Every structure is written in structure tokens, then in C-alpha cells.
Amino acid sequence: MWFEGISAQTGIGRVARGGNVAEGLTERLIRAEREAGFHERDMSAFQRERIDLEHRVARMEAELEALRRRRLEAYARWWNARDDRDRALHVCRRLRRRIDRGRRRAAED
């Protein structure tokens, strides 16, 4: 764990030789607080970046959903136009056959 060995580093449980234990602990505390402050600033920056990315992802997902909807609508319009074309071609074939039959009858008479 990250906190293992802190007592050995800080001198807890040992008698200080020629120095003040409290001063060593105070220096260690100051360094740890400074380090915690650096990490806190980093965390704030990372949090802002994460929030920004979440907003961007939400916008892109909404745009993707809109594009998917437009794609389906475009396909539906294409399908309807294809059906209309096929229907019109069918009518054309029937009318041509009628005209051809009428011409054949007129030529026979």
C-alpha cells in the first residue's frame, strides 16, 4: 500500500539522534500537503476536461442520432420513389400493350 513505510520514513517509533523529531515530522507534513495540493490542482484540471468531453460526447451522440434518423428518412423517400417508378413503368407497359393490340386490330380490319 502507498502508506506502508511512512512510520519508517518519518521516524515514528525511533528516538531522534541529534535532532528534533517534531521538526522532521513537520517537514514531512509540509511536503505531503504540498504534494496533495499539486494532485488537487491536477484533479481539478482533469475534472474540467472530463466534463468538457462528456458534453462533447453528448452533442456528438445527439448529432449521430439525428443523422441516423435522416438516413432512415432518405431511404424511405428512395424506397417510395422506387415504388412510384415501378408503378409508372407497369402502367406504361400495360398502355403499350393496349396500343399495340389496338394497332393490330386496326391493321387486321
The tens digit of pLDDT for each residue in 6-22 reads 555 555 555 455 568 88
Query: Is the pTM higher than 0.75?
Result: no
The tens digit of pLDDT for each residue in 42-85 reads 999 999 999 999 999 999 999 999 999 999 999 999 999 999 99
Give alpha helix (H) positions in 1-20: 6-10
DSSP, residue by residue, 16-83:
-SSS-HHHHHHHHHHHHHHHHHHHHHHHHHHHHHHHHHHHHHHHHHHHHHHHHHHHHHHHHHHHHHHH
